């Protein structure tokens, strides 16, 4: 489209939204880019709109879509990383706005593209999470710079399009068949639990989130179609019944139900779904694509009334999906070597998979300190999280590899990659076999210091694992995990049974039960909490103190369970001030007296306070006067000291318990414990990190509570490093400025001492 004035059209936010929505509906990357340039060209009225994509490995830029330049150049024009104006935009990662580009020193004339008629040039980098994906270019004939408004609009557009381009690029990688030359293709995430897992991806989807439903191939299409039609009839019946029950209700409601029935009976949705099933797709995915296609046609309509219909279609689609899943039964068939994949996997998702089949976990969300990661470590399986938006639909049932050391996911690995990982997995198995000999040994340093190795536990399913881990007791029993697997608050008697089972299994070894620590990232399905800042909100002891009926029931159950065993200890989570401690202890006293009055023979258990909030660090000495022991929860302490959400993948790189500030805090608390002669346990994830364990040893830590799978590794390290050597390392670390420098120093130390296999894959 030629534009005589040389001015581009002013576009509304709505127009921007429509461009993004249309691009997003494209089937693949090439179609997406084509739609983008066409729509931008048309909406802005520029003479040329092009997108150059950057190649992550070579840094070269390929003209990938254009309106206005020669079509034959698409895919053919490849510029070097620094070449021409595109190279300049890319290297500076800044917009470039020039009135007459042919006079610019970096202009490069390329006859192939036919841009000699266009003078004004606006190039804007397309950046996603700090990485350059490509350059969006607008050009027009007039020799006049684009206006500031045009630039800001193009920048806004590029930021909005970036995530969609990133996702489409990723999908292209994922669906690409394995190729020998693709040796290095992987997706980067966060190493959440170490290990190598090779297996088949099983994508967990949520019914409420249609876009997570994966593609799956079926052979019995007739059965799929029958199930789908039963679901449609069931929804039609639901709608009829609803309409009848709304007789005499406001006309809008009847209208809405009428609109739903019409969509359902119009057959467009039904026919499209059946046609896709006929091609061999299972019913849920066929329904998902039919709903998306139909809804999208309404989304892009100008008329706001019609635009709203897209929402109705999605809602209706969800209702049919619910019915469909009811009919299908929702049971997942887990392959022999399953790697569980999901948008935001929970610890409960993991334990639903039979342990002998589970080889790894991949989650789009979450960090190395989320509870998913913690449970993966307990189960001894690798986990990779924070992969961003994965093309989940296409991942289901593909062969994948989870590299839990480097935080990588390989999809459809080729023969070479698979062979290499099989070797690494074998070596890992050999290491685990070697480490077994430490199971029954105590952790004693060469200079005679004993460190009590305790285990973190909390799931009924991991009790045998914890029991056989070679621990001297349970340093942290997360009782909330028991609560999370129920559908209501467990009664006092039910809790007694659960706690007694643990006490009995470990007897006479101590078990430290932490009282209910919900809120934050640990919601109970039957006790929803909606807050904009959950980690700074109602969680841990705050909830318990506000709900004495729940707290005292738990305390009574814990005391009753320990009757006759005398190996229970109690731990109070998330204490931020001494007043909370007093209140919690007052409840305990009350419950204790009540139980005694009932004639029970009870020992009062030792009580500890968790140090996981900065205020508690500064009051550690005071806390130590009032309790029997302290326990440092480094996961939350790191989160609060560094102001880094432990579950947020965007900031996960900043979350490091080896940060000098966290080290100082831990050292301070350990000294406070020594001063008051109260034991201090470290029970956060850091204690299970062999590098960090060296520093904790140097600080004088005598009790480490770690996940079951980590006990032998830490024991091995402790038996080889003297306390004196650990102190030297600690003092070097405390002089350093960044967690990265500290980590490198410790890695080198471990590598030099022959422990490299603990911090990377392979021997």
Residues making contact with ligand PEP (CB under 6 A)? 476, 478, 517, 612, 633-636, 683-684
Closest separation in Å from C-beta 720 to ligand PEP = 26
Closest separation in Å from C-beta 573 to Mg ion = 6
| Cα gap 706→416, rounded to integer Å | 36
| Cα gap 673→522, rounded to integer Å | 29
Which does residue 683 bind out of Mg ion, ligand PEP, none, counting CB within 5 to 8 angstroms by kind? ligand PEP
| Alpha-helix residue ranges (DSSP H) falling in 400-547 | 415-435, 463-467, 479-484, 492-506, 541-546
Closer by beta carbon to ligand PEP, 323 or else 539: 539
For 434, phi then psi, to 5°, come to: -65, -40
Binder of Mg ion out of 461, 472, 636, 689 (CB under 5 A) = 636
Which does residue 478 bind out of ligand PEP, Mg ion, none, counting CB within 5 to 8 angstroms by kind? ligand PEP
Q: Which stretch binds Mg ion (CB under 5 A): 244-252, 317-325, 434-442, 626-634?
A: 626-634
Would you state the structure tokens that stand for residue 685, as one six-digit string? 């994830």
Closest separation in Å from C-beta 730 to ligand PEP = 20
| Cα gap 313→239, rounded to integer Å | 14
Which does residue 360 bind out of ligand PEP, Mg ion, none, counting CB within 5 to 8 angstroms by kind? none
Half-sphere exposure of 261 (CA within 13 A, CB side): 15
Closer by beta carbon to ligand PEP, 62 or else 635: 635
Closer by beta carbon to ligand PEP, 343 or else 636: 636
Tell me the CA distances in angstroms from 477 to 152, 344, 608, 619, 713, one per residue in order: 53, 24, 13, 24, 21
683 is catalytic: yes
Which does residue 684 bind out of ligand PEP, Mg ion, none, counting CB within 5 to 8 angstroms by kind? ligand PEP
Closest separation in Å from C-beta 517 to ligand PEP = 6
What's the start-to-end Cα distance of the chain, in Å? 62
Which does residue 703 bind out of ligand PEP, Mg ion, none, counting CB within 5 to 8 angstroms by kind? none
633 binds Mg ion (CB under 5 A): yes
Closer by beta carbon to Mg ion, 369 or else 755: 369
Q: Which residues are CB-neighbours of 715 under 8 A, at least 6 positions away?
A: 438, 441, 442, 443, 453, 470
Closest separation in Å from C-beta 634 to Mg ion = 9
Closer by beta carbon to ligand PEP, 476 or else 609: 476
Would you state the structure tokens that stand for residue 642, as one six-digit string? 């560094």
Closer by beta carbon to Mg ion, 445 or else 635: 635
- Name the catalytic one among 61, 164, 371, 587: 371
Which does residue 47 bind out of ligand PEP, Mg ion, none, counting CB within 5 to 8 angstroms by kind? none
- Show the site string, 358-397: x = touches Mg ion by CB under 5 A, - = not: ----------------------------------------
Q: Classify burial at 223, counting beta carbons within 10 Å of its beta carbon; exposed 0-12, middle 13-18, buried 19 or more.
A: middle
Would you state the structure tokens that stand for residue 255, as one six-digit string? 């209208």
Which does residue 634 bind out of Mg ion, ligand PEP, none, counting CB within 5 to 8 angstroms by kind? ligand PEP
761 binds Mg ion (CB under 5 A): no
- Show the site string, 44-63: x = touches Mg ion by CB under 5 A, - = not: --------------------
Four-residue CA torsion sign, 42, 45, 48, 51: negative
For 167, phi then psi, to 5°, come to: -65, -45
Closest separation in Å from C-beta 686 to ligand PEP = 8
Sheet with 187-188, strands from edge to edge, namely 187-188, 408-411, 399-403, 196-203, 338-342, 358-363, 383-385, 190-193
59: left (phi over 0), alpha (psi -120 to 50) or beta: left
- Show the site string, 592-621: x = touches Mg ion by CB under 5 A, - = not: --------------------x---------
Closest separation in Å from C-beta 647 to Mg ion = 12
Q: Which residues are CB-neighbours of 100 under 8 A, at least 6 positions away?
A: 119, 120, 143
Closest separation in Å from C-beta 633 to ligand PEP = 3
| Cα gap 665→610, rounded to integer Å | 13
Which helix (H) or strand (E) segment holds residue 256: the answer is helix 251-265
Closer by beta carbon to Mg ion, 434 or else 538: 538
Helix axes 634-642, 660-676, angle to 10 degrees: 130
- Name the catalytic one among 49, 101, 672, 683: 683
Closer by beta carbon to ligand PEP, 291 or else 372: 372
Q: How far is CA 31 from the centre of its chain?
A: 29
> Which residues are tagged catalytic?
371, 683
Residues that bind Mg ion (CB under 5 A): 612, 633, 636
């Amino acid at each position: 489209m030629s534009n005589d004035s040389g001015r581009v059209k002013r576009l509304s936010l709505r127009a921007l939204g429509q461009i993004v929505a249309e691009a997003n509906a494209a089937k693949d990357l090439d179609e997406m880019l084509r739609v983008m340039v066409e729509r931008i060209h048309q909406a802005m009225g520029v003479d040329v709109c092009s997108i150059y994509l950057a190649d992550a490995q070579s840094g070269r830029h390929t003209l990938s879509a254009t309106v206005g330049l020669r079509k034959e150049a698409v895919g053919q024009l490849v510029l070097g990383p620094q070449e021409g104006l595109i190279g300049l935009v890319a290297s500076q990662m800044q917009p470039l706005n020039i009135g007459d580009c042919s006079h610019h020193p970096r202009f490069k004339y390329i006859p192939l593209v036919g841009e000699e008629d266009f003078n004004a040039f606006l190039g804007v980098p397309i950046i996603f999470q700090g990485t350059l994906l490509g350059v969006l270019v607008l050009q027009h004939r007039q020799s006049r710079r684009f206006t500031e408004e045009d630039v800001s609009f193009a920048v806004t557009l590029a930021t909005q399009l970036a995530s969609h381009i990133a996702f489409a690029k990723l999908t292209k990688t994922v669906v690409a068949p394995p190729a020998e030359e693709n040796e290095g293709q992987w997706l980067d995430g966060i190493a959440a639990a170490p290990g190598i897992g090779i297996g088949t991806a099983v994508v967990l989807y949520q019914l409420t989130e249609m876009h997570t439903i994966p593609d799956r191939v079926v052979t019995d299409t007739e059965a799929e179609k029958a199930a789908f039609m039963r679901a449609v009839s069931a929804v039609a019946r639901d709608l009829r019944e609803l309409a009848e029950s709304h007789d005499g209700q406001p006309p809008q409601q009847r209208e809405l139900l009428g609109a739903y029935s019409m969509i359902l009976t119009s057959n467009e949705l039904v026919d499209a779904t059946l046609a896709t099933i006929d091609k061999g797709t299972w019913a849920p995915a066929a329904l998902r694509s039919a709903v998306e296609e139909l809804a999208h046609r309404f989304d892009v309509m100008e008329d706001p009334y019609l635009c709203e219909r897209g929402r109705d279609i999605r809602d209706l689609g969800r209702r049919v999906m619910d019915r469909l899943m009811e009919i299908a039964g929702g049971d997942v068939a887990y392959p022999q070597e399953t790697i569980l994949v999901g948008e935001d996997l929970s610890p409960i998702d993991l334990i639903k998979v039979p342990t002998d089949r589970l080889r790894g976990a991949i989650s789009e969300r979450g960090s190395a300190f989320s509870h998913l990661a913690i449970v993966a470590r307990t189960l001894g399986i690798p986990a990779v999280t924070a992969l961003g938006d994965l093309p989940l639909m296409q991942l289901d049932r593909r062969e994948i590899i989870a590299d839990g050391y480097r935080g990588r996911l390989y999809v459809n690995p080729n023969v070479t990659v698979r062979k290499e990982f099989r070797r690494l997995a074998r070596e890992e198995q050999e290491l685990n076999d070697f480490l077994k000999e430490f199971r029954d040994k105590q952790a004693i340093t060469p200079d005679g210091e004993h460190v009590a190795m305790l285990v973190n536990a909390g799931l009924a399913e991991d009790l045998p694992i914890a029991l056989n881990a070679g621990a001297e007791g349970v340093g942290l029993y997360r009782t909330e995990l028991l609560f999370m697997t129920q559908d209501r608050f467990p009664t006092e008697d039910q809790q007694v049974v659960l706690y007694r089972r643990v006490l009995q299994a470990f007897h006479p070894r101590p078990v430290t039960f932490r009282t209910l620590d919900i809120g934050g990232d640990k919601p109970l399905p039957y006790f929803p909490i909606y807050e904009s800042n959950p980690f700074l909100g109602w969680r841990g002891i705050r909830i318990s103190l506000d709900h004495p009926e729940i707290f005292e029931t738990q305390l009574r159950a814990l005391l009753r369970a320990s009757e006759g065993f005398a190996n229970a200890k109690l731990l109070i989570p998330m204490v931020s001030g001494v007043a909370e401690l007093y209140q919690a202890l007052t409840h305990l006293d009350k419950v204790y007296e009540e139980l005694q009055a009932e004639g029970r023979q009870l020992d009062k258990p030792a009580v500890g306070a968790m140090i996981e909030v900065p205020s508690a660090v500064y009051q550690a000495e005071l806390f130590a006067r009032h309790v029997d022991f302290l326990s440092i929860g480094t996961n939350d302490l790191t989160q609060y000291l560094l102001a880094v959400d432990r579950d947020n993948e965007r900031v996960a790189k900043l979350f490091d318990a080896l940060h000098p500030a966290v080290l100082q805090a831990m050292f301070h608390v350990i000294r406070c414990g020594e001063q008051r002669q109260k034991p201090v346990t470290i029970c956060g994830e850091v204690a299970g990190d062999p590098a960090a364990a060296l520093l904790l040893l140097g600080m004088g830590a005598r009790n480490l509570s770690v996940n079951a799978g980590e006990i032998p590794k830490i024991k091995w390290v402790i038996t080889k490093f003297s306390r004196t050597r650990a102190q030297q390392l600690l003092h070097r670390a405390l002089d350093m400025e960044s967690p990265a420098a500290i980590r490198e120093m410790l890695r080198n130390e471990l590598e030099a001492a022959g422990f490299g296999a603990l911090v990377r894959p392979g021997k």
